Amino acid sequence: MRCATHPGVVASGDEPTTLRVLLWRRALDPHIGRWSLPGGRLRPDEDVEHSIRRQLAEKVDVKTLAHVEQLGVFSAPARVPGPRVVATAFLGLIPSDVDPVVPEDTSWHDVGDLPRTAFDHQEIVLHARDRLRAKLSYTNVGFALAPAEFTVSALRQLYSAALGYRVAATNLQRVLTRRGALVPTGRTASPGRSGGRPAALYRFAHRDMRVTDPFAVFRPPAPAAGRGSRTRGGTA
């Protein structure tokens, strides 16, 4: 998965960034022509993580992942027609500034607008999305979505895309700084076309996943209440 900007849309303004998953069209039955997650059979001489890295490199030319972790085992008896197949799925993350060249039968798809997929692959994708959202609340895994250096505004767009709701930039900066996950570089980004004050550049303190706050949760804002009532909740 990766957070990406829509082609032709400048990464400024209201949320041009989306969470995407890499899918490829099946060339064989069953479910020929449907979009599916890259994968294949486990070789006798490899473990499952080595297998998924090999499958990505061989089938869709993705060779570098910023983060990879086992997602789960999918073992419903009828998940695949014919002989029973048990799948071990992994969550792999690619930074937003990395755009690997993929084969013609492979394409990035918005997680919120998936095409018809083969087997139970939509369920797996949504499970991966939920895992990512959970990890963003108590770890520094945002490093795997972000470039090496970024502005807080750009980071807010990535978190908003992954979490599925608008995140407040000031709260995000405060929370990540308090957790020791975010540090200033001392440099600024080049001014945009509209000019203005250059934005400070930040980086993640660590480029591997670490638990930063096991009790913290990012929550979407509470619905607007009626006049005179009090609201609770907020965004981080």
**How confident is the model over 22-53, as pLDDT tens digits?**
999 999 999 999 999 998 888 999 998 899 89
Of residues 21, 65, 19, the one with CA closest to residue 163: 19
Query: pTM for this one?
Result: 0.84
Residue-range domains of the chain with CATH: 2-137 (3.90.79.10)
**Whole-number pLDDT of residue 233:** 35
**Whole-number pLDDT of residue 228:** 44
**How confident is the model over 63-92, as pLDDT tens digits?**
889 999 999 999 999 999 989 999 999 999
Q: What is the mean pLDDT of the chain?
A: 85
Cβ distance 166 to 160 under 8 Å?
A: yes
| pLDDT averaged per 10 residues, the chain (length 236) | 52 61 93 93 91 89 90 94 92 91 92 95 96 94 96 95 94 95 94 76 97 72 52 35
Polymer length of the chain: 236
